[in-house]
Amino acid sequence: MCGIVGYVGPQNALNFLIEGLKRVEYRGYDSAGVAVFPQNGGRYESYKCKGTIAALEREVSPLQQLYISGIGHTRWATHGEPTERNAHPHFSADRSICVVHNGIIENYDQLRQLLQEDGVIFSSETDTEVLAHLIAGYYRPGEDLLKAVSRALQTVEGTYALAVQASDQPELIVGARNGSPLIVGVGDGEMFLASDISAVVSHTEKVIYLEDGELVSLTRNGFHTFNLQNMEIDKKVEDIQFQISKIDKDGFDHFMLKEIYEQPYTVADCFRGRLLPEQGNVKLGGLELLEGTLHKINRITITACGTSWHAALVGEYLIEELAGIPVEVEYASEYRYRNPATGPDTLVVVISQSGETADTLAALREAKMRGNTLVGICNGIGSTIARETDCGIYVHAGLEIGVASTKAFTSQVTALFLLAIKLGRSRGLSGSRGVELVGELMAIPEKISSILEDAESIKKIASIFLDCHNCLYLGRGYHFPIALEGALKLKEISYIHAEGYPAAEMKHGPIALIDEGMPVVVIALHYGVYDKVLSNIHEIIARKGRVIAIAHKGDEHIGRLVDQVIYIPGCTEALSPILSAVPLQLLAYYIAIARGCNVDQPRNLAKSVTVE
């Protein structure tokens, strides 16, 4: 959530800041602002507003002069309402220090009280303003700004990515990171700072990734990095593995729809080069460190948040069925605050689309402190989770702009399927079964394409939901997590209240809600508990509920039974969650569009949740 951009160099800083903020607005925000230094001298000029970057751009468009440096920000409100007053940048009382900040200062109340006792008057409700006043208290004009920032941060508890400037040093930007991502773009006679690589990718191919507890000073001539004890450290400059074209809609109305339609390719990209079809096995280069210990693992904990947690639930079914290893799935936000039972033979798998999710990172570090072996599954190349786990699997879904995850989810399930086969073949899964499973996986992209070809029929079904206020999603076995995921997609982007349940649990409470105004989506695929699911459907119909079923092509019986059917191709049950998720993504999308919702940037949501 939130976005930071900074620039120092010969180009017009204001142009870069506005462009960079546009590149990171997909992460979610409610206000935006910039502070820039004019070439002809003088103090900052600051512009900020509640609402969109487009509104900020209109405000600054009349400006004609050249700005040599500046910092900008998109805010997602934590402390204080989304107002112009609370928008970043924030300044010290004498405006000598300017700050933009992602994260949360946890001891903000105590620091604010101490500053107020010293006579500091606050002009906003934010925790960030505390940082501006603290830094100003340690800074003297012409002295080392980075040291002042470092001293201030030693009094701070919480998470942050910062960009800081001083009014008397316009060609200097100081950045700092702890628990929230921050990168440096290295240019030719210019330097960039950003919280997201997409902000700098059109300007440079070279970046450095700051780690927690690191600070950086930027001038147009280069950078120096330090730790909080002011000791200079060497940082590796890395090549960007990212294409700017991935940020375009490619003719689709929304990024979410584009990303839904990319899934035949992203699922294939996840398994490409990793399959050994003749051996019925997979090769996961990222797990080389585990090769000698896979057979020793006697328990697995998977921890994640949101959509990634639903992928983890599918992973539980996959690993227990194919490898016979007990699996427990934990909410990352809960994991670190209890005393989970883990031992030396427990493998901890952490899943995050961005690789920067704060709660998942906290769970990772808790598991590391306990001495567990850590595997990361993420989409963010070079992300914190990718760097801090022992080994891992990149899902290779490419940049996902839509806040409601789609292609990353199916790629995560694909990665977990690969892991399950790898573990299974190390402990008893037969070669013939492995060959069958690998062959089935290779056919999945084409089957996803066939579902997408039928999108218009799903669009027509969406009209059923337009006036409803509540909806149930039901599934059993592998499809209980997909019911949860389908319900999450609907409420995320259409704002219709929806809940997912195991189908048999409907009788234990939710059945009281069913009437003619309650649509019920039932995943009714022809596997082992098919007849049980049909019984649940009859119970819904008896109470005048409207049923939308996800069924296998050729299932004429269910077509005669329910109001609407979305048909999908058949496959082995272990891979069916990938196929059944796709029509539910389309259903949520078309419902939200018909209700006039912003599907790419739903209200109150952020793409990467970097605060607890």
Catalytic residue among 2, 49, 471, 571: 2
- DSSP class per residue in 175-216: EEEEBS--EEEE-SS-EEEESSGGGTTTT-SEEEEPPTTEEE
Residue 572 identity (one-letter amino acid): T
Whether 296 is catalytic: no
Residue with tokens 């070669």: 431
β-bridge partners, 281? 276
Six token digits for residue 448: 């996803």
Q: How far apart are CA 197 and CA 185, in angstroms?
A: 8
Query: Kind of pairing, strands 206-209 and 183-186?
Result: antiparallel
Q: How far apart are CA 183 and CA 160, in angstroms?
A: 13
**Dihedral sign from CA coordinates of 310, 314, 317, 322:** negative
Helix (H, G, I), strand (E, B) or coil at 27: helix
Phi, psi angle pair for 556, to nearest 5°: -75, -30
Q: How far apart are CA 254 and CA 504, in angstroms?
A: 36
Picking from 185, 224, 191, the residue whose alpha carbon sits closest to that of residue 206 is 185
Q: Which residues contact 143 (CB under 8 A, 6 or more apart)?
A: none
Instruction: Give the C-alpha distances (Å, rounded to integers) separating 556 from 447, 540, 553, 563.
Output: 20, 19, 8, 13
Residue 30: DSSP 8-state: S
Whether 206 is catalytic: no
Residue 570: DSSP 8-state: -
Contact 407, 394 (CB under 8 A): no
Contact 608, 1 (CB under 8 A): yes
Residue 319 identity (one-letter amino acid): I
Catalytic residue among 48, 407, 447, 607: 607
Picking from 245, 380, 205, 209, the residue whose alpha carbon sits closest to that of residue 308 is 380
Q: How far apart are CA 506 and CA 526, in angstroms?
A: 20
Q: How far apart are CA 587 and CA 567, in angstroms?
A: 13
Please list the active-site residues: 2, 607
